[in-house]
Amino acid sequence: FQSTSDLETVPGWSPIAARSSLVRNYTVGLQQGLGRAELRLEAYHKDFEHRFPEVSVPTGLTGSGNVTLNAASTGWAEGAEALLRVHAWGPFSGWISYAWSSVLRSSGQGGYYDADFSQPHVGNLVLQAALPRHWTVGGRWRLASGIPYTPVLSRSYNLATGRWTPVFGATNSQRLPVYDRLDLRLEKRWDSEGAWWQSVTAYVELINTLDAENITSVTYEDDYSGIRRIRQFPRLVFGGLELAF
Which residues have a Cβ under 8 Å from the Cβ of 219 and sit 6 or more positions away? 227, 228, 230
Q: Which residues contact 93 (CB under 8 A, 6 or more apart)?
A: 86, 87, 127, 128, 130
- Give the model confidence (pLDDT) of 90-130 as tens digits: 999 999 999 999 998 876 556 789 988 899 999 999 999 99
Environment class of residue 149 by beta-carbon count within 10 Å: exposed (0-12), middle (13-18) or buried (19+)?
buried
The residue type found at 130 is A
pLDDT at residue number 64: 54
Give the pLDDT band (50/70/90) at residue 71.
very low
Which three-class secondary structure state does DSSP give residue 40? strand
Measured between alpha carbons, how far apart are the two ends of the chain, in Å? 42
β-pair type (179-191, 135-144): antiparallel
Q: Which of 106-110, 171-175, 208-212 has the lowest mean pLDDT?
A: 106-110
As a whole number of angstroms, the distance between CA 218 and CA 224 comes to 12
- pLDDT at residue 222, as a whole number: 85
Q: What are the distances in angstroms from CA 113 to CA 24, 77, 118, 143, 151?
A: 20, 12, 10, 23, 13
Residue 54 confidence (pLDDT)? 54
| pLDDT at res. 39 | 98
Q: How confident is the model at residue 195 (pLDDT cuts 50, 70, 90)?
A: confident
Contact 145, 114 (CB under 8 A): no
pLDDT at 67 over 90: no
Q: What digits encode the pLDDT tens for the residues 18-56?
A: 555 567 889 999 999 999 999 999 999 998 754 445 556
Q: What local confidence, expressed as pLDDT, does residue 203 receive?
A: 97
> What SS3 state is found at 69?
strand
Backbone phi and psi for residue 24, each to the nearest 5 degrees, phi listed first? -100, 130
Q: Are 75 and 46 in contact (CB under 8 A)?
A: no
Cβ contacts of 34 within 8 Å, gap of 6 or more: none
The DSSP secondary-structure symbol of 64 reads S
CA distance 75 to 102: 10
Q: Give SS3 for 200.
A: strand
Q: Quick one: average pLDDT of 185-192?
A: 96
59 pLDDT above the threshold of 80: no
- Residue 226's pLDDT is 87
Percent of the chain with pLDDT over 90: 59
pTM value is 0.78
* pLDDT at res. 15: 47
